[in-house]
Amino acid sequence: MFQVQLSTDGDVVTLTHGNDIARFHAIWLRDNAWDEDTRAPGNGQRLIALRDIDAGVHVTAARMEGGQLHLTFAPEGRSIAYDLAWLMEHSYDRAQNRAPGWLADSAEAWDARLMDNVPTGDFAAVLGDPSARAAWLAQIARYGFAKLQDGPVEDGALFKVVDLFGHVRETNYGSKFEVRTEINPTNLAYTGLGLQAHTDNPYRDPMPTVQVLYCLESTAEGGENMVVDGFAAARRLREENPEWFDVLSQHCARFEYAGTGVRLQSRRPMIELDPDGALRAVRFNNRSAAAITDVPFDVMPAYYAAYRRLGEIIDDPSMEVSFRLEPGESFLVDNTRVLHARKGYSGTGTRWFQGCYADMDGVRSTLAALQKPRKEAAE
């Protein structure tokens, strides 16, 4: 049972539903009306601009009728009906500040304990069954990575993975890149080394936000793939030492990659926050780290201490989830969040992977469209 209360000045409408209380401002309510003069029927595009709403807009009457909230606005003098569930779903009546490092949307931090339940989809099911596709994409949105198994074993199969949610992001490496290694006794010594967990291409701005790695051959022992939740690592750093978290989020690092005809450079923080403190991205890649010049002299020692500790947390086995990929299996990471690495080899053989980039907006869009189909227009 909903109850409505109007402030005496008509500026605030309060909805009460059981223990839930949500206050809304008159200007917000008028701007978010869904009547056919405000929103186009069908595609829902907004038909008015803020300049079309009087700055002194207020509510003169509020009543419940037929399961809807009816509000009369002055100076327009119009009455507009609101869907109560929509209003409660869009409530913004919350405490002003959240601790920096909070997780937006449906993200959930994880550590090695996720190993018992590695997010996985089946290629044929995800391709053919919309609910299986939504479930697979929802795992990527929640954990920042997922495996896909039983896919085709053929050159370019990774593009079929990208087709499930979006488009390939081509770079100077081409539309895909080859990771092909012959591991024999002569080169075992150096190829056998694992890589430190990293995010890819932090020197691009914007960086590619999805990486797909697809296994076509894997006869060598070892060489498992591993992933670390960069958001969990950043949050652990903050728990241990809030100043170190601040120093990495409040200063820019620099990243660089120089190749034939390319010199990619970026100036972005290792821990990037939204203006409201939500974790937006983690960038961590020792191979493309450039000289850091945006940290004041007196702060540099703390910056290096924080950078070192973040690396130690990332290297901590209690943070990592590892899995072996067989031919036809692939995994996808949210490259703004989840670090990846390959572990060392312990035997000889061949290993052939193909990789490509794509973007998370495709993941989120396809997921949202599957969960809530709606005719959409551009913008």
Burial profile 283-307: b = 16 or more Cβ within 10 angstroms, e = fewer: bbbeebbbebeebeeeeeebbeebb
Q: Which of 301, 307, 305 is nearest to 289 (CA)?
A: 307
The least distance separating Fe ion from the CB of residue 331, rounded to whole angstroms, comes to: 12
The least distance separating Fe ion from the CB of residue 33, rounded to whole angstroms, comes to: 47
CA R_g for the chain: 25
The least distance separating Fe ion from the CB of residue 145, rounded to whole angstroms, comes to: 13
| Angle made by CA atoms 134, 136, 138, in degrees to the nearest 5 | 65
What residues make contact with Fe ion under the rule CB under 5 A? 200
**Shorter beta-carbon distance to Fe ion: residue 44 or 344:** 344
**Shorter beta-carbon distance to Fe ion: residue 202 or 362:** 202
The least distance separating Fe ion from the CB of residue 340, rounded to whole angstroms, comes to: 6
Check the CA dihedral 75-77-78-83 and report its sign.
positive
Across the chain, which distance is largest between two alpha carbons, in Å? Answer: 84
Residue with CB nearest Fe ion? Answer: 200
**Shorter beta-carbon distance to Fe ion: residue 200 or 359:** 200
Q: Which of 176, 142, 144, 178 is nearest to 162 (CA)?
A: 176
**Shorter beta-carbon distance to Fe ion: residue 244 or 353:** 353
* Residue 301 CB partners (closer than 8 Å, separation 6+): none
Q: How is 292-346 classified by DSSP, letter by letter?
A: --SS-GGGHHHHHHHHHHHHHHHH-GGGEEEEPPPTT-EEEEETTTEEEEEPPB-
The least distance separating Fe ion from the CB of residue 227, rounded to whole angstroms, comes to: 11
**Shorter beta-carbon distance to Fe ion: residue 200 or 229:** 200
CB atoms within 10 A of CB 85: 11
The least distance separating Fe ion from the CB of residue 198, rounded to whole angstroms, comes to: 6
